[in-house]
């Protein structure tokens, strides 16, 4: 596999074209359905270019998944521009809002949400590295918020269940769009109308987390 920093400008450009083309093809067809030939044709590159730059299709896919995730985080960071000293409630809203913005992004950035949706259904070896390096950092951020909201923030089981409930609400509206549109055609979410959804998920999550906290408190008395 070639090292990006050692490539001449023409080869570096080819590498970037492959990543851009592969993002769209993988998002549309999934890792298993995409072919190197389709990717190279879209990138205007020789079919041998994938092996030269990434080793194989798996290497290319791993880089595409990582690159799209990092670009999404750079554009919509988990903290959402909220200072670390803000209330847990404000930080939760910012976390949920930025998560929704990442997965509902349009244009070239739409690959991120579609790639993640496919990984949830049919995971590949690339997911292991993404979880270990990238997703873990976001999970730690949400963990800190939930721990602050729960009276017993050291209750690991409750914290994890609350985290899962928050995230499951967010991804439901993206991953289950085909069903939502058929059942409730008026519920059509785009980057321009996500604020109301972010506010709703936050209110619902806060109510649930607080109820979990009250339940844990009442059991001790």
- Identify which of 167, 163, 191 has the alpha carbon closest to the alpha carbon of residue 72: 191
**Per-domain residue ranges for the chain?**
4-55, 77-219
Alpha carbon 89 to chain centroid distance?
A: 21
Global confidence as pTM: 0.85
Q: What does each of the 221 residues of the chain score in pLDDT, given as a tens digit?
A: 655 655 678 888 999 999 999 999 999 999 999 999 999 999 999 999 999 999 999 999 999 999 999 999 999 988 888 887 899 999 999 999 999 999 998 887 888 889 998 998 899 999 998 899 889 999 999 999 999 999 887 899 999 999 999 999 999 998 888 999 999 998 888 888 899 999 999 999 999 999 998 875 555 54
CA pair distance 198, 204, nearest whole angstrom:
10
Q: What is the pLDDT of residue 209?
A: 95
CATH top-level class for 4-55?
mainly alpha
The predicted structure's pLDDT at residue 221: 44
Angle of CA points 83, 89, 90, to nearest 5°: 35
Tokens 């690959």, residue? 111
| Gap between the terminal Cα atoms of the chain | 62
pLDDT at position 107: 81
Q: How far is CA 208 from the centre of its chain?
A: 23
Cβ atoms of residues 163 and 139 within 8 Å: yes
C-alpha 93/C-alpha 163 separation (Å) is 13
């Amino acid at each position: 596999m070639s090292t990006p920093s050692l490539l001449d400008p023409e080869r570096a450009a080819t590498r970037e074209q492959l990543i851009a083309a592969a993002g769209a093809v993988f998002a549309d067809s999934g890792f298993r359905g995409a072919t190197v030939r389709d990717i190279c044709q879209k990138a205007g590159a020789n079919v041998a270019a994938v092996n030269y730059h990434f080793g194989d299709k798996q290497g290319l896919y791993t880089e595409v998944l990582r690159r799209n995730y990092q670009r999404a985080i750079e554009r919509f960071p988990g903290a959402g521009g909220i200072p670390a000293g803000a209330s847990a409630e404000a930080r939760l809203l910012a976390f949920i809002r930025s998560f929704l913005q990442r997965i509902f992004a349009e244009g070239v950035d739409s690959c991120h949400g579609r790639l993640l949706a496919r990984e949830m259904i049919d995971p590949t070896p690339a997911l292991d590295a993404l979880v270990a390096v990238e997703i873990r950092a976001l999970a730690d951020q949400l963990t800190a918020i939930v721990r602050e909201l729960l009276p017993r923030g050291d209750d690991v089981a409750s914290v994890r269940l609350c985290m899962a409930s928050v995230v499951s609400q967010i991804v439901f509206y993206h991953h289950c769009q085909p069903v939502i549109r058929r059942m409730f055609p008026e519920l059509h979410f785009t980057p321009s109308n996500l604020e109301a959804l972010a506010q709703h998920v936050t209110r619902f999550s806060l109510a649930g987390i607080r109820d979990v906290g009250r339940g844990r408190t009442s059991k001790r008395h």
